Amino acid sequence: MSADTRTDDQLLADVRPGHAGSAFAVFYERHERAVLAYFRRRVPTAETAADLTAETFAQALINRARYTPQPGGAAAAWLFGIAAHVLAHSVRRRRIEDRARQRISLPELALDDAQLAQIDEIGEDSGVVAALDGLAPDQREALRARILEDRSYPDMAARLNVSEASARKRVSRGLATLRRRLEGTSR
């Protein structure tokens, strides 16, 4: 793990048009494992999870200017929103879209058996699932609605019967709690 102390918001702000640079590399390093785990639990093969992860980060790089910084880990939620769209799009089209990866000239992935096995292990990592299950019920429900179901904040507020500000606060607090727990287990 990188020793870079910049927040995700700072990293995304430091990415310059046409040049990913080290800021995006740090952002990628911080979130790659979680995004791989997200996809590995949803697709049949590690190779497909890796391809979807690459496309997600390519989309994030291309669309980073659309990201609006918000307190409480919004960059991770933004990234998982992109991941949910990439997955939904690939399911609808019954293939993995790689237009963003091609647009920024990323080579096609070539993974060996050891790398595929590592991705499978990440998908089986129960730390993320346990951390999510360990959240307060209101935070857990808010994170599932926002990140896994890709619901908008107004939709979440109506569904959870709370104000939009309360829905945002639940997501923010849930992400902060998850981050603390997951960082505590990786040290």
The overall average pLDDT reported for the chain is 76
CB of 117 within 8 A of CB of 45?
no
CA dist 186 → 1, 37, 109, 127 (Å): 9, 15, 27, 10
* pLDDT of 115 over the 70 cut: no
At 104, is the pLDDT very low, low, confident or very high (cuts 50, 70, 90)?
low
Dump the DSSP string for 86-127: HHHHHHHHTS---HHHHHTTPPPP---HHHHHHHHHHHH-HH
CB of 140 within 8 A of CB of 133?
yes
Q: 16 forms bridges with which residues in the sheet?
A: 19
Dump the DSSP string for 45-96: -HHHHHHHHHHHHHHHHHHGGG----TTTHHHHHHHHHHHHHHHHHHHHTS-
SS3 string, 133-171, reads: HCCCHHHHHHHHHHHHCCCCHHHHHHHHCCCHHHHHHHH
Compute the distance between CA of residue 65 and CA of residue 13 in angstroms, rounded to an integer. Answer: 8
Residues 133-170: tens digit of each pLDDT: 677 888 878 877 776 666 788 888 888 888 988 888 88
Residues 12-32: tens digit of each pLDDT: 988 876 666 788 889 989 999
Please calculate the CA angle 139-36-91 and round it to the nearest 5 degrees: 90
CB of 136 within 8 A of CB of 150?
no
Per the listing, tokens 């096995």 go with: 117
Largest CA distance in the chain: 48
pTM: 0.55
Compute the distance between CA of residue 8 and CA of residue 24 in angstroms, rounded to an integer. Answer: 9
Nearest to 131 by CA among 4, 53, 3, 33: 33
pLDDT: is 42 or 178 the higher one?
A: 42
What pLDDT is attached to residue 187?
38
Domain ranges across the chain: 1-124, 125-187
CATH of region 125-187: 1.10.10.10
Q: 89 forms bridges with which residues in the sheet?
A: none
